[in-house]
């Protein structure tokens, strides 16, 4: 996403250098629907294509360039999608109404516009966009996995799908490997000892209840995002990734431990009329957040599983009909959990109490799977004006490899870097143009 938006910006502005895109995935003609993470249009651009349009959603953008510039960059990404869309008039923006009054005593509800590209059109968009870039001289090397980058000598090493070496030097490098390249980004950060931004801890529980209790809110906002903020304590909480109708809790095994997440099925035959969502706390100011989270998750395992607590319910079934794998604990065990959380669990308790107050039928009819965790990869420290590494000014980190979590923000970061490269080119032109004289 970041890469092709950057390349498009460069092409549109008559960049006179050579652009090479190395990607371990496939071109849009060969890429299979099941290849979710890699290839032309990146991750969500291939499967979902929802373009969020707000600076508070989808990761960091305005932090680098300010609010107005961020919106302008996101506009450019949306324009690109429309431009290569076979029916641009069908790209629609949904802009939810104001927060409903009944939630206000307890929560804020984050509402934001989303442009819906339409999943049925993503393949055609990918092909049209690809053709435009190829026709304008961009050189794609598909199924080519970069395994090493020598930042000091400006050199890339990769292997193609026949295990043949592919090598290339570069003047400017845009590093946009997305989630599928997160480990590669991490290993480069360690190898080059790159300074990083301080990160927060993101941990909580996966909450589950019959959907009927939340229907009033779901009618206003399907994927509702309730939030609470305690700025003075460096703590904020939000509901995260809401699933409805055919909603299932899933085990995630990371670093050998269980944590929980959720997903929804589209097929009616899976309908279970349940709702699940994460209640995620963002904790700032914890030294070494990664180790802290991992230690906490380790302590929340019994008999090799995560935990389940409910005042009245038992764990529900997975979409395959098995029990969600979790060790059920009682209210006495919950006190131990609260201790393990070093006091932070009181925020989750109070979030649930708040929901019980505004959704009066909820009462004790809920359960929670403990823990849900988001291990954030270290974010390399960059020059905010062009997203270049502070140690290597010609290496730009963009998209999910930096601090993005969505299509629009990733694409916008790519365009932001391209604008900087175009500016540099202009400066070089001025100094190499013999007819130009400085007065």
Ligand X SMILES: Cc1cc2nc3c(=O)[nH]c(=O)nc-3n(C[C@H](O)[C@H](O)[C@H](O)COP(=O)(O)OP(=O)(O)OC[C@H]3O[C@@H](n4cnc5c(N)ncnc54)[C@H](O)[C@@H]3O)c2cc1C
Residue 425 as a binder of ligand X (CB under 6 A): the answer is: no
Residue 316 or 408 having the CB closest to ligand X:
408
Question: Taking CB under 6 A as the rule, does residue 376 contact ligand X?
Answer: no
Question: Minimal distance in Å, beta carbon 242 to ligand X?
Answer: 14
- Interacting span for ligand X (CB under 6 A) from 44-52, 271-279, 323-331, 415-423: 44-52
Query: How far is it between the farthest Cα atoms of the chain?
Result: 82
- Residue 317 has what DSSP assignment? B
Part of the chain binding ligand X (CB under 6 A), chosen from 82-90, 97-105, 292-300, 399-407: 399-407
Could you give phi then psi for residue 148, rounded to 5 degrees?
Answer: -150, 145
Does the footprint of ligand X cover residue 31 (CB under 6 A)?
no
Contact between 410 and ligand X per CB under 6 A: yes
Q: Which positions ≥6 away from 360 have C-beta within 8 Å?
A: none
Phi–psi pair at 80, nearest 5 degrees: -60, -45
C-beta nearest to ligand X: residue: 42
**Phi, psi angles (nearest 5°) of residue 159:** -130, 140
Q: Angle of helix 2-12 relative to helix 407-432, nearest 10 degrees?
A: 40
Contacts 24+ apart (CB under 8 A), 133-136: 133/4, 133/7, 133/8, 133/11, 133/21, 136/11
Decide if residue 1 touches ligand X (CB under 6 A): yes
Q: How many CB atoms lie within 10 A of CB 275?
A: 25
Q: Give the residue, chosen from 7, 19, 55, 58, that forms a contact with ligand X under the rule CB under 6 A.
A: 58
Residue 247 is given by DSSP the state E
Q: Which of residues 100-159 bind ligand X (CB under 6 A)?
A: 145-146
Helices 2-12 and 122-135 pack at an angle, to 10 degrees, of: 40
Residue in 7, 73, 373, 407 binding ligand X, rule: CB under 6 A: 407
Least CB distance from residue 84 to ligand X, whole Å? 15
Among 70, 173, 337, 404, binds ligand X (CB under 6 A): 404
Q: Which of 12, 13, 27, 36 binds ligand X (CB under 6 A)?
A: 36
| Residue 3 backbone dihedrals phi, psi, to 5 degrees | -65, -50
Measured from the CB atom, is 237 or 409 closer to ligand X? 409
Interaction of residue 401 with ligand X, rule CB under 6 A: yes
For residue 371, whether the previous peptide bond is cis, meaning omega lies within 30 degrees of 0, is yes
- The residues in 176-205 that bind ligand X, with binding defined as CB under 6 A, are 176-181, 184
Shortest distance, position 212 Cβ to ligand X, whole Å: 27
- Interface residues toward ligand X, by CB under 6 A: 1-3, 22-25, 36-39, 42-45, 47-50, 52, 58, 145-146, 176-181, 184, 399-401, 404-408, 410
């Amino acid at each position: 996403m970041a890469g092709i938006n950057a390349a498009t910006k460069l092409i549109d502005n008559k960049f006179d250098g050579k652009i090479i895109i190395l990607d371990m995935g496939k071109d849009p003609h060969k890429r299979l629907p099941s290849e979710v993470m890699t290839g032309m249009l990146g991750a969500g651009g291939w499967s979902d294509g929802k373009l969020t349009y707000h600076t508070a959603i989808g990761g960091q953008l305005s932090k680098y360039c300010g609010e107005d510039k961020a919106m302008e960059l996101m506009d450019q990404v949306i324009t690109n999608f429309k431009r290569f869309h076979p029916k641009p008039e069908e790209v629609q923006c949904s802009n939810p109404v104001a927060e409903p009054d009944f939630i206000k005593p307890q929560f804020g509800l984050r509402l934001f516009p989303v442009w819906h590209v339409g999943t049925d059109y993503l393949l055609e968009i990918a092909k049209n966009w690809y053709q435009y870039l190829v026709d304008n001289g961009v050189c794609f090397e598909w199924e080519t996995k970069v395994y090493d980058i020598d930042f000091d000598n400006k050199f890339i090493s990769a292997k193609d799908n026949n295990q043949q070496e592919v090598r290339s030097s570069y003047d400017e490098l845009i590093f946009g490997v997305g989630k599928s390249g997160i480990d590669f980004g991490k290993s480069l950060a360690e190898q080059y000892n790159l300074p990083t931004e301080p990160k927060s801890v993101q941990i909580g529980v996966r909450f589950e209840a019959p959907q009927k209790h939340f229907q009033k809110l779901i009618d206003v906002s399907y994927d509702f995002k309730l939030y609470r903020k305690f700025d003075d304590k460096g703590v904020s909480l939000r509901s995260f990734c809401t699933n409805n109708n055919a909603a299932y809790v899933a085990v995630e095994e990371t670093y050998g431990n269980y944590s929980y997440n959720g997903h929804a099925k589209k097929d009616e035959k899976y309908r279970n009329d349940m709702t699940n969502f994460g209640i995620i706390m963002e904790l700032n100011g914890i030294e070494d957040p990664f180790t802290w989270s991992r230690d906490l998750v380790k302590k929340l395992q019994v008999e090799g599983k995560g935990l389940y607590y409910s005042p009245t319910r038992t764990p529900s079934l997975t979409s395959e009909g098995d029990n969600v794998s979790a060790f059920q604990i009682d209210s006495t065990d919950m006190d131990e959990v609260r201790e393990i959380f070093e006091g932070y669990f009181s925020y989750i308790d109070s979030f649930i109490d708040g929901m019980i107050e505004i959704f009066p039928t909820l009462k004790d009819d809920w359960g929670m799977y403990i823990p849900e965790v988001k291990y954030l990869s270290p974010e390399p420290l960059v020059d905010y004006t062009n997203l270049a590494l502070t140690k290597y000014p010609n290496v730009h980190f963009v998209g999910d490899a930096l601090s993005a979590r969505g299509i629009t923000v990733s694409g916008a970061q790519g365009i932001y870097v391209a604008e900087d490269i175009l500016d540099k080119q202009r400066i070089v032109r001025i100094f190499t143009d013999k007819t130009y004289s400085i007065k």
